[in-house]
Structure 1
Amino acid sequence: MKGLVIALQFLTRLPMPRVHADEQDFAQSMRWFPAAGLVIGALLAVAAAVGLLADSWTAALCALLLWVWVTGGLHLDGLSDLADARGAAHKDRAHFLAVMADPHVGSFGVVAIVLQLLAKLVLLHGVVEIGDLVALVFIPFAARIGPLVWTLCLPPLHAGLGARFANGMASRHLLLWPFPLGASALFCQPLLAAPALILLWSWWLKRHVGGVSGDCHGAGIELVETGLLAGVLIARHL
């Protein structure tokens, strides 16, 4: 349970009991990221249900605001940093890494954040409209299996957060999650697309970035979540 508490402390703004943790404990907490995603998803479903007391757009907005608040915008920050770095990648790799490390948000980053929030709002509205609040419980869970895969498949981009997590991961830790993912697909079949989306992001990072970092993990979580929201709507209309 210590690993889950550390994962929730890192990934959310939820109040957690204080625990003593060293560098290895922090690195090993990554294996609990999917469980932390399940907590986030349960809160999203509750927020959407409360918003439905008004209407579906209010429900979508409540869920989105909760999503941003509970994660502290952590993954959106990664998405914006990666967007800014990719915008500067035409110069050279050194400039790409420098922009990635820059805490300031540039124009590419702003556009990425705005488009991501708009996409999630519209897709959340669609999911609420079809009454599939159960999907909101499991989507953050499925997306947070991604960092485990990316850490195992890709080299660290630099000596940062991604490298710290790499020291605490092994292939056997990934084996904890396929069964829960398959079980969740009994309630939400589009979750079966999660492995494909996760591997697609791994391929994109390998081809265009050459490795993985904390920002790449955050961006990947955001994009997989959005892809799964879209998958729920596509599956409903097929």
Structure 2
Amino acid sequence: MIIKQHYHALILAFQFLTRIPVYRVFFIANTTPSSQVAGKALLYYPIVGVVIGGCLVLLPVMLNCFAVVVSPQMQAGLVLVLWVWVTGGLHLDGLADSADAWLGGFGDKQRTLDLMKDPTCGPSAVVVLVLVLLLKWLALSEVIAHLQTLAHLWWLVLVLVPVLARFQVMLLVAHTPYVRGLGLGTELKNQAQARWIWFWFSSLGVFMLYQNLWLSLTILLTVGLGYSLMRRLMMQRINGWTGDTAGASIEVIELLLLLVLSMYLYL
């Protein structure tokens, strides 16, 4: 029974975070999950990140293997389109809602929460989305250009970007209050287990330090600072997290990691 719950939670994590049609392959994806299963889905977010990261490196690695000449800028554009498609723009939507709410909320908690529920997209959201996607494309161009000159194992660094962004959401949920009352966020909060966080942290830490010490420390420091900043902003404005702010944190961490990687590989 416990194994079935975790299996269902793993499939549910893909349904939550991607538009991969798992329901066509796994029958259990078409069944209504219990609250325990819905909560346990959080524990498998890093695995979803691994699959997303694998999709991102597949195109440039295949082009490199078959010696197909495509500019890094074009590859970055195609990878970014794939990135948005695989995730369904879910986290970008959370970023847009958060941007509108933060700038339009005027420091008021309830107004900020109300604005995040507003389905319309204001100018603040549009500007933030354009800037984030533009910076992601530029950073991806630099990262891909440098990774093409290195051994294939270095592509694993790019895979870590979506993995670590989703790992920090586990930290956010486990150590930050949920402000919406009852709902999916409550189940995620109730099922967030510290031992799973330590499991993922130790596994990722060992893997990264085995690859490259200084790069790994730089990446971990970036994730730590980005997570601390995002959590502090959430606590100051709304005293906790929502689904939108969690999605926004994923986008921010991914952008920070890409920027750091582009600068580190350039050195």
Q: Same fold (TM over 0.5)?
A: yes
* Equivalent residue in structure 2 for 1:174, among 197, 200, 205: 197
TM superposition shift of 1:202: 1.6
**Structure 2 CA distance, aligned partners of 1:191 and 1:153?**
21
Aligned pairs (5 A) from 1:82-121? 82-90=98-106, 92-121=108-137
Partner of 2:82: 66
Alignment deviations for residues 198-220 of structure 1 (CA, whole Å, 9 cap, x no partner): 23322222223321010011000
**Structure 1 CA distance, aligned partners of 2:62 and 2:121?**
33
Partner of 2:261: 232
What is the TM-score with the length of structure 1 in the denominator? 0.92
Seen in structure 2, the aligned counterparts of structure 1 residues 55 and 66 have a Cα distance that, compared at 3 Å, is: same
TM superposition shift of 1:182: 1.1
Tell me how large the CA RMSD over aligned residues is.
Answer: 1.8
**Structure 2 CA distance, aligned partners of 1:91 and 1:206?**
12
| Greater Rg over alpha carbons, structure | 2
Opposite residue 239 of structure 2, the aligned amino acid is G
**Structure 2 CA distance, aligned partners of 1:184 and 1:43?**
20
Compare the two structures and name the one with the higher helix fraction: 2
Opposite residue 235 of structure 1, the aligned amino acid is Y
Aligned pairs (5 A) from 1:1-238? 1-16=7-22, 17-19=26-28, 20=31, 21-50=33-62, 53=68, 54-90=70-106, 92-131=108-147, 132-159=154-181, 160-185=183-208, 186-187=210-211, 189=216, 190-193=218-221, 194-238=223-267
TM superposition shift of 1:51: 5.9
**Gap regions ≥5 residues in structure 2:** 1-6, 148-153
Alignment deviations for residues 92-117 of structure 1 (CA, whole Å, 9 cap, x no partner): 33221110111221111111111111
Alignment deviations for residues 113-161 of structure 1 (CA, whole Å, 9 cap, x no partner): 1111111100100100111532221110011011111112211121344
Which deviates more from structure 2 when the two are superposed, residues 183-192 or residues 203-212? 183-192
Which deviates more from structure 2 when the two are superposed, residues 175-184 or residues 143-152? 175-184
TM superposition shift of 1:177: 0.6
Helix, strand or coil: the match of 1:175?
helix
Which deviates more from structure 2 when the two are superposed, residues 114-123 or residues 184-193? 184-193
Percent of pairs with identical residues: 32
CA contact (8 A) 1:138 1:184 kept: no
TM superposition shift of 1:22: 1.4
CA contact (8 A) 1:48 1:133 kept: no
**Structure 2 CA distance, aligned partners of 1:206 and 1:91?**
12
Which deviates more from structure 2 when the two are superposed, residues 25-34 or residues 193-202? 193-202
CA contact (8 A) 1:64 1:121 kept: yes
Helix, strand or coil: the match of 1:211?
coil
CA contact (8 A) 1:142 1:191 kept: no
Helix, strand or coil: the match of 1:145?
helix
What is the TM-score with the length of structure 2 in the denominator? 0.83
**Structure 2 CA distance, aligned partners of 1:73 and 1:170?**
28
